[in-house]
């Protein structure tokens, strides 16, 4: 089974509701200047219409993601090539946990706050019992040395048999707590996306200029 198909099943469940909430909070219109940090076109297939969209990603778009009405910039979320307050809203979905250690995450947060008048940053909640990248409960709560011994028993590895997964996960992923997100975005409010009543994801929102 393709692991990406499993991820997509979760995305189809949660992301349309997430995008609807984003559109409601910021009253997104076709002329709203939106920067998507670290994203692609997938989230924008769940919306009734696209805003004036710019995507910043370290990777170029795939052929399927090339679109005449979307500007795609290859760049680093920790050092964005935009002037202060260039965008009405900065949107970022499940990205800040991938940019590096806490200092890297702080740089990313500062850049989001610098280039956007408002922002919406979503990230998985460290306290949710299932680690979303590994699709396995509790493994992210273990000390790193112990977690490394269990990573090949995670559902993600058992399905994908991706030998690069352990190295990539421990080098690239650092889940954040609500307290840490509030520290990174002190001018924001915190909301939660819930599953069975449990806070699954953190929404960090500044919807005033």
The answer to whether residues 150 and 58 belong to one domain is no
Residue stretches of the chain with pLDDT short of 50: none
**Cα separation, 101 vs 99, whole angstroms:** 7
**Cα separation, 42 vs 84, whole angstroms:** 27
The answer to whether residues 80 and 42 belong to one domain is yes
The answer to whether residues 68 and 161 belong to one domain is no
**Cα separation, 100 vs 78, whole angstroms:** 10
- Main-chain dihedrals φ then ψ at residue 61, nearest 5 degrees: -70, 150
Number of domains in the chain: 2
Rounded to the nearest angstrom, the gap between the alpha carbon of residue 52 and the centroid of all alpha carbons in its chain is: 20
Residue 18 CB-half CA count within 13 A: 30
Starting at the edge strand that comes first in sequence, how are the strands of the sheet with 87-93 ordered?
70-74, 52-57, 33-37, 87-93, 116-124, 198-206, 189-195
Encode pLDDT of 171-200 as tens digits: 899 999 999 999 999 999 999 999 999 999
The answer to whether residues 109 and 151 belong to one domain is no
**Cα separation, 209 vs 206, whole angstroms:** 8
SS3 198: strand
Longest Cα–Cα distance of the chain, Å, equals: 50
- Main-chain dihedrals φ then ψ at residue 89, nearest 5 degrees: -140, 135
Instruction: Give kind and range of the element (H or E) at residue 4.
Output: helix 3-26
| Domain interval for residue 147 | 134-172
The answer to whether residues 39 and 76 belong to one domain is yes
pTM assigned to the model? 0.92
């Amino acid at each position: 089974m393709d692991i990406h198909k499993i991820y997509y099943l979760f995305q189809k469940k949660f992301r349309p509701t997430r995008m609807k909430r984003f559109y409601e909070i910021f009253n997104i219109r076709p002329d709203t200047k939106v920067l998507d940090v670290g994203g692609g076109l997938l989230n924008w297939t769940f919306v009734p219409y696209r805003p004036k969209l710019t995507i910043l990603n370290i990777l170029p778009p795939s052929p399927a993601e090339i679109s005449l009405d979307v500007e795609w910039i290859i760049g680093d979320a920790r050092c964005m090539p935009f002037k202060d307050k260039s965008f009405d809203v900065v949107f970022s979905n499940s990205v800040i946990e991938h940019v590096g250690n806490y200092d890297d995450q702080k740089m990313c947060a500062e850049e989001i706050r610098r280039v956007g008048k408002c922002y919406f940053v979503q990230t998985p909640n460290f306290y949710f019992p299932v680690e979303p990248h590994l699709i396995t409960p509790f493994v992210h709560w273990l000390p790193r040395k112990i977690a490394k011994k269990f990573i090949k028993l995670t559902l993600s590895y058992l399905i994908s048999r991706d030998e690069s997964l352990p190295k990539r996960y421990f080098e690239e992923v650092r889940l954040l707590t609500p307290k840490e997100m509030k520290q990174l975005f002190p001018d924001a409010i915190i909301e939660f996306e819930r599953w069975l009543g449990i806070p699954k994801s953190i929404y960090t929102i500044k919807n005033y200029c």
